[in-house]
Amino acid sequence: MGVSVQRLTIGQSEVALPSKGVTAIVGGNNVGKSTVLRELVTRLSVDPGQDVTSRGRPVLVHDLRLETEGTADDVLAWLRETAHLTWNPVEVFVNSEGRGHMPPAQVVHFWTLGDRLGSLHEFMVHFSDPMSREGMLGPAEPRGDITNPPTHPLHRIGDDAKLFEEVNDICQEIFRVPLTLDRLSTNHTLRVGIPSVTAPPIDRVTAEYREALGTLPPIMSQGQGMKSLLGLLLPVVTATRPIIVIDEPEAFLHPPQAFDLGRILASMADDRGVQVILATHDRNLLAGLLDPGAPVSVVRLDRVGDDTSASQLAADDLATLWNDPVLRYSNVLDGVFHRLVVLAEADGDCRFYAAALDSMNRNDPLSAPPSEVLFVPSGGKDGMPKIARALGAVNVRVVASPDFDIFDDEAKLRRLVEAFGGRWADFADDYRVAISDLLPRSTGATCGDVLQAIQVQLEPVSSEPWTQERKEQLRPTLRTSQSGMSDLKRYGARAFRAGGAPRAAALLDKLAALGICPVREGELESLAPELGVSKGPAWLAAALKAGVHENEATKAHIGLLIQSAAVPG
């Protein structure tokens, strides 16, 4: 027997969910993440034709498709193993929280509803939000009769030592403290620690043990993080529902604990073959979900006015990104939580650009605040296409800022263009004409070639003084060696010679419109050639101290990145 949500239609967008694994729904505040989860659970629980509107608010989940395995007899057999069969006054199934009360005939009826579970959702769907988790920890009233079915997760761990040990192991792993189940108080509760007296048989409790148990602090006296995490996991561990829906699992957790929780949820999904659907704001939780290698898909919500759209990064594509050792240990996952991601080749580049963006925003507030812009190191040019495709799949705007020698390798530039959704055929002619004068030649340049190139460079500024800067601008023009490709990184756009310069300008404009903005001065260090410090960490520190991040060349490049992103205000 199996059941999972196969597809969701959110707004006008359809997304596919892994049947055994995790789907993480992300997006900014007020885009509808929690609403999608509530409407998902509502659609699963109602009969066909029943109203599923959200009290007058726009409906976000317009359709839902279930995938089921097995016959009604298979479901009945599964319930006999996982639920409790009792009489009330006829034979009925009761779930692990004492709810459901379904006669077998009703089970058969609801299993045939198609894309609804009706009352069967009590046995097959668990929903957790931050407000309800604390109640999962008790205290729990004892059952009137020991033969009665459990009505609380604490009853379940009291009945099954393996379940208690699973919860206890999680608590010790994350919080480094053990748990004890207190069955002696009026209501069952969890306490933190182990009594100093060995537990006696249940029918021979001693005063010494009762006193030692009473010294342990109850779980409800602990911090919000411990209560939230255990309140989330306790019903998941003690129940057998195949669909688990969780809103903001990271609530009240420190980053390491959020990572651990993500890892545990993904491991449970993989080991038990269940489907976890959650909404999160937390990069650490997302990283934890990916750590065990379970299938994880990301659905990102965006909202414009009352219109919500969804885009998806499929589990296989996300795994490819995560399995790259360079990207795995970068901040690339943070990109799904930002409006704009700027790709640079190295971490130092990202830090410099972030400082420059902050400076520009202080002097003239930008349409997108710096907090919404993330600079991600790609580990060189080869990593840029992979990140661009992945983040583009979830509708994150991406801009790439490679060094100018990207033009030295047509194959790399082509991969980058195609990763941004461009057709190389639209760029190829401009590219080949632009670099034609830089390719190795069998004959040297003539005096006429050099004269013409100098005229192109100097005629627009013929009345201005001759300076060292003008001399440097002419240097690539005067180089007449067989190949000029090596000049690209050193001189940037100035390396293009007279014949190719107009097509190079057109090519740069096309690339910027696509989201690709090579550093037109050549490389980061070319933004301040007068600094006199070689590449590396020393350059970054010296550049920031000297205010290079605030000079005109840097402002022009950052402005180009923002313009290329076209981030709406």
C-alpha–C-alpha distance, residues 528 and 553, integer Å: 8
The hierarchical CATH code for the domain 2-313 is: 3.40.50.300
What are the pLDDT digits (tens) for 314-359?
A: 999 999 889 988 888 889 999 999 999 999 999 999 999 999 999 9
Instruction: Write down the pLDDT at residue 564.
Output: 94
Contacts of 5 (CB under 8 A, 6+ apart): 17, 40, 44, 64, 65, 66, 67, 243, 275, 277
3-state secondary structure of 520: coil
C-alpha–C-alpha distance, residues 246 and 233, integer Å: 10
CA angle, 263 then 268 then 271, to 5°? 120
Helix (H) or strand (E) holding 241: none
Contacts of 407 (CB under 8 A, 6+ apart): 413, 431, 434, 435, 485, 488, 518
Domains of the chain, by residue range, sit at: 2-313, 324-423+516-565, 441-482
C-alpha–C-alpha distance, residues 297 and 282, integer Å: 15
Go through the chain and tell me how many residues it has. 569
Contact (CB, 8 A) for 387 and 335 = yes
Looking up tokens 């909404």, which residue turns up?
Answer: 279
Query: What φ, ψ does residue 466 adopt, rounded to 5°?
Result: -85, 120
User: Which residues of the chain are modeled with pLDDT < 50?
Assistant: 442-443, 481-482, 567-569
DSSP for 294-309? Answer: --EEEEEEEEETTEEE
- CA-to-CA separations, 401 to 8, 317, 514, 518, in angstroms, rounded: 36, 23, 12, 5
The sign of the dihedral angle between the CA atoms of 312, 314, 315, 320 is negative
Q: Are strands 340-344 and 397-401 parallel, antiparallel or unpaired?
A: parallel
Helix (H) or strand (E) holding 3: strand 2-10
Q: What would the two tokens of residue 228 be?
A: 């939230």
Instruction: Write down the pLDDT at residue 507.
Output: 97
Query: What φ, ψ does residue 298 adopt, rounded to 5°?
Result: -115, 130
Please give the DSSP secondary-structure letter assigned to residue 240: -
311 bridge partner residues: 300
Looking up tokens 């097959």, which residue turns up?
Answer: 124
In this structure, which amino acid lies at residue 308? T
What are the pLDDT digits (tens) for 18-33?
A: 999 999 999 988 999 9
Instruction: Write down the pLDDT at residue 472.
Output: 66
